[in-house]
């Protein structure tokens, strides 16, 4: 590099005197990213290099996933042509896998915003390197959730009837309908998260623009909008991010609450519950945080981001996951015990199906995945510090949370107040579209990771500048100072 390293006092602080303290400093440096500063140009390279690295196996996976997405597209066209009947939906189970997917995908979309907005508001420092990787899950999770709703429409070409404009009969959509709440909430959340991730990206896009050539240079030049990092730009940027953080948190809560209200507003036994809003939010955060951990582990390995994603980040997320597991169990139990004690006949049947009926194996698997396994393992630092073990736990949580949504949607729906119209649901074409939806999210994420720097370099540099070591007695401790 063009600059002599010694000339650059900010990035290389002198080591503390005394062997003992130096050792402590070294130890802290290994543990905390923000105490282990690198030269900005090195960090730029570390963040940009993985974007160029596309091994043959990367392309093999891309082709395979594209194939699955194509299969999904064909299935969808078939479904549009022949009608929703081919998905196995029938009276009384009108909501099947598509709605399970919608709830699931909106759920995993919650962690991204939570990590970047709520942890930003609370000034929790370990959020810095993972915020964008998490927000990207939100972006694509919501995209998939929106698509799942469209798949659920029989006449999907009429989707625009949801938009607020008067139709030919001069009728406006009924804004008091839960469908409209849903649409507006998801629209607001998707718009907000997209702009939020873009705002955070601006300085990094400028960084990428300054260090790339060819089509990437042109792309980043356009996307960075001419960012130079002037004081005015930074001041506005900070305020905008603050406003977004504070506004998007209540929006995040509203989205999954409203999704839960789609169920709870009905008189369907098992759905008509006042606790559904917070219960769904906790479930969403639970599966979302687990999804973020899985993604973090994958990108850390495949994009060689070991410098950025360290034990402290996995540890923080895993502890959060443990708390969420308890909270989820608390809500699940609350939602279970009230109808159980109430003893409504149809709910007795439903609970029997779960406890010892055809759904029992899956139900116990769900309890194992969501409660027993996380609680039994995540308290241990050895599990939390072992990425492979942690990822396994998180995959089980994904299975558990998917099952939980599956019980809520097509299983509960099969048992209504009129026993003559009970039914079961066999998901048919929906399975292919579910696989395709998952493939689409992974594919989009993979392609995105090669175009956009997933590591927020400016946020890490900011943290490294304002964080330092403080000596108290014989110990060195991390000290954080941040300009207001």
Partner 1 sequence: MANRSILGLFHEATSTADTIDRLRDLGVAEEAITVMSGVPYTPEILGRRPVYERLLPIALLGAVGGFLAALFLTVVTPHLYPIEVGGQPLIPGPPTIIIVFEFTMLGTLLATFGGLLAEIAFPAVGRQDYDHRITEGHIGVLAVVDEALADQVEGALKELGAHHLKIDEAHHVPGPRPWRRLAFVGAFAVVPTVIGLLFAYSVLVIPLPNQMVNQPSIAFDQGPRLAAPAEAVPIQGPVLIDGLPASAPVPATADSLQRGSILFSINCAMCHGQDGGGRGNLSGYFNPPPADLTSERVQGLTDQQIFLVLTQGRGLMPSVAENLLPVERWDVVNHVRTLR
Residues 374-433 that bind partner 1 (CB under 8 A): none
Query: C-alpha angle 61/42/122, rounded to 5°?
Result: 80
The candidate with the shortest Cα–Cα distance to 379, out of 362, 400, 393, is 393
DSSP assignment of 163-177 = SSS--TTSPPP-TTS
Question: In this complex, which beta carbon is closest to partner 1, that of residue 124 or of residue 235?
Answer: 235
What angle in degrees, to the nearest 10, is found between the helix axes of 40-52 and 457-466?
160
In angstroms, what is the minimal distance from the CB of 437 to partner 1?
22
Residues 56 to 75 in contact with partner 1, rule: CB under 8 A: none
- Binding range to partner 1, per CB under 8 A, among 63-71, 241-249, 273-281, 317-325: 241-249
Q: Which of 55, 57, 170, 342 is close enough to bind partner 1 by CB under 8 A?
A: 170
- Binding range to partner 1, per CB under 8 A, among 178-186, 354-362, 394-402, 405-413: 178-186
- Binding range to partner 1, per CB under 8 A, among 76-84, 116-124, 294-302, 393-401: 76-84
Q: Which of 21, 29, 36, 40 is close enough to bind partner 1 by CB under 8 A?
A: 40
Asked if 207 is part of the footprint of partner 1 (rule: CB under 8 A), the reply reads yes
Phi, psi of 39 (to 5 degrees): -65, 140
Asked if 166 is part of the footprint of partner 1 (rule: CB under 8 A), the reply reads yes
Residues 120 to 159 in contact with partner 1, rule: CB under 8 A: 154-155, 157
Q: Which helix (H) or strand (E) holds 284?
A: helix 276-302
Asked if 462 is part of the footprint of partner 1 (rule: CB under 8 A), the reply reads yes
- The separation between the first and the last C-alpha atoms of the chain, rounded to the nearest angstrom, is 33
Asked if 171 is part of the footprint of partner 1 (rule: CB under 8 A), the reply reads yes
Asked if 188 is part of the footprint of partner 1 (rule: CB under 8 A), the reply reads yes
Asked if 184 is part of the footprint of partner 1 (rule: CB under 8 A), the reply reads yes
Retrieve residue 25's tokens: 């400093």
Q: Which of 251, 323, 383, 392 is close enough to bind partner 1 by CB under 8 A?
A: 251
Asked if 229 is part of the footprint of partner 1 (rule: CB under 8 A), the reply reads yes
- Binding range to partner 1, per CB under 8 A, among 175-183, 285-293, 315-323, 433-441: 175-183
Q: Which of 21, 71, 219, 233 is close enough to bind partner 1 by CB under 8 A?
A: 233
Residues 287 to 326 in contact with partner 1, rule: CB under 8 A: none
Retrieve residue 453's tokens: 């720097």
The candidate with the shortest Cα–Cα distance to 303, out of 456, 449, 135, is 449
Burial class (CB in 10 A: 0-12, 13-18, 19+), 421: exposed
Handedness of CA 417, 421, 425, 428 (dihedral sign): negative
Question: Is residue 189 within 8 Å of 179, Cβ to Cβ?
Answer: no
Size of the site for partner 1 (CB under 8 A): 82
Q: Which of 10, 121, 337, 376 is close enough to bind partner 1 by CB under 8 A?
A: 10
Asked if 240 is part of the footprint of partner 1 (rule: CB under 8 A), the reply reads yes
Asked if 8 is part of the footprint of partner 1 (rule: CB under 8 A), the reply reads yes
Running DSSP on this structure, what letter comes out for residue 271?
T
Question: In this complex, which beta carbon is closest to partner 1, that of residue 140 or of residue 458?
Answer: 458
Q: Which of 94, 153, 216, 234 is close enough to bind partner 1 by CB under 8 A?
A: 234
In angstroms, what is the minimal distance from the CB of 414 to partner 1?
21
Question: Is residue 93 within 8 Å of 425, Cβ to Cβ?
Answer: yes
The candidate with the shortest Cα–Cα distance to 293, out of 274, 276, 309, 282, is 309
- Binding range to partner 1, per CB under 8 A, among 107-115, 239-247, 334-342, 435-443: 239-247
Which residue bears the tokens 């149809």? Answer: 346
- b/e string for 78-94 if b means 16 or more Cβ within 10 A? ebeeeebeebbbeeebe
In angstroms, what is the minimal distance from the CB of 358 to partner 1?
28
Region for residue 467 given its phi and psi (left: phi exceeds 0; alpha: psi -120 to 50; beta: otherwise): beta
- CA 63/CA 53 separation, integer angstroms: 17
Q: Which of 81, 215, 341, 420 is close enough to bind partner 1 by CB under 8 A?
A: 81
Residues 256 to 275 in contact with partner 1, rule: CB under 8 A: 258
- Binding range to partner 1, per CB under 8 A, among 91-99, 201-209, 277-285, 414-422: 201-209
Asked if 450 is part of the footprint of partner 1 (rule: CB under 8 A), the reply reads no
In angstroms, what is the minimal distance from the CB of 1 to partner 1?
8
Handedness of CA 189, 190, 191, 197 (dihedral sign): positive
- Binding range to partner 1, per CB under 8 A, among 16-24, 163-171, 299-307, 399-407: 163-171
Retrieve residue 482's tokens: 């941040």
């Amino acid at each position: 590099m063009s600059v002599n390293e010694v000339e650059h006092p900010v990035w290389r602080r002198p080591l503390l005197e005394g062997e003992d303290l130096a050792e402590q400093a070294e130890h802290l440096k290994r543990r905390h990213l923000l105490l282990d500063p690198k030269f900005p140009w090195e960090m730029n390279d570390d963040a940009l290099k993985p974007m160029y690295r596309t091994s043959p196996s990367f392309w093999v996976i891309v082709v395979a996933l594209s194939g699955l997405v194509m299969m999904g597209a064909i299935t969808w066209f078939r479904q549009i042509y022949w009608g929703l009947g081919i998905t196995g939906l029938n009276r009384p189970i009108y909501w099947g896998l598509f709605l399970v997917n919608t709830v699931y995908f909106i759920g995993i979309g919650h962690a991204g915003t939570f990590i970047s907005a709520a942890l930003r508001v609370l000034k929790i420092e370990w959020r810095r390197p993972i915020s964008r990787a998490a927000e990207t899950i939100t972006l694509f999770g919501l995209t998939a959730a929106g698509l799942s709703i469209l798949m659920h429409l029989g006449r999907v070409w009429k989707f625009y009837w949801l938009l607020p404009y008067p139709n030919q009969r001069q009728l406006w959509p009924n804004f008091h309908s839960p469908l409209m709440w849903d649409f507006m909430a998801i629209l607001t959340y998707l718009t907000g998260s997209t702009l939020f991730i873009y705002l955070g990206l601006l300085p990094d896009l400028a960084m990428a623009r300054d260090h790339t050539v060819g089509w990437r240079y042109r792309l980043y030049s356009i996307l960075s909008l001419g960012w130079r990092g002037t004081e005015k730009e930074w001041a506005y940027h900070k305020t905008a991010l603050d406003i977004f953080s504070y506004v998007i948190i209540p929006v995040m809560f509203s989205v999954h609450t409203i999704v839960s209200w789609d169920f709870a507003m009905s008189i369907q036994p098992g759905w008509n519950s006042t606790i559904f809003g917070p219960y769904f939010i906790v479930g969403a955060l639970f599966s979302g945080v687990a999804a973020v951990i899985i993604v973090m582990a994958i990108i850390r390995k495949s994009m060689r981001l070991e410098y950025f994603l360290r034990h402290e980040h996995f540890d923080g997320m895993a502890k959060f996951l443990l708390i969420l597991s308890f909270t989820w169990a608390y809500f699940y139990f609350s939602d279970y015990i009230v109808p159980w004690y109430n003893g409504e006949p149809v709910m007795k049947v439903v609970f029997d199906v779960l406890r010892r009926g055809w759904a029992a194996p899956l139900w116990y698997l769900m309890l194992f995945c969501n409660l027993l396994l996380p609680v039994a393992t995540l308290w241990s630092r050895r599990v939390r510090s072992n990425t492979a073990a942690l990822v396994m736990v998180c995959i089980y949580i994904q299975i558990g949370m998917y099952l939980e949504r599956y019980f809520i949607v097509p299983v509960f729906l099969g048992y209504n107040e009129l026993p003559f119209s009970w039914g079961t649901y066999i998901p048919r074409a929906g399975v292919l579209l579910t696989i395709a939806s998952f493939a689409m999210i992974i594919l989009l994420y993979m392609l995105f990771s090669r175009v956009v720097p997933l590591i927020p370099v400016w946020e890490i540099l900011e943290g490294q500048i304002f964080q330092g070591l403080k000596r108290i007695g014989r110990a060195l401790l991390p000290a954080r100072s941040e300009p207001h």
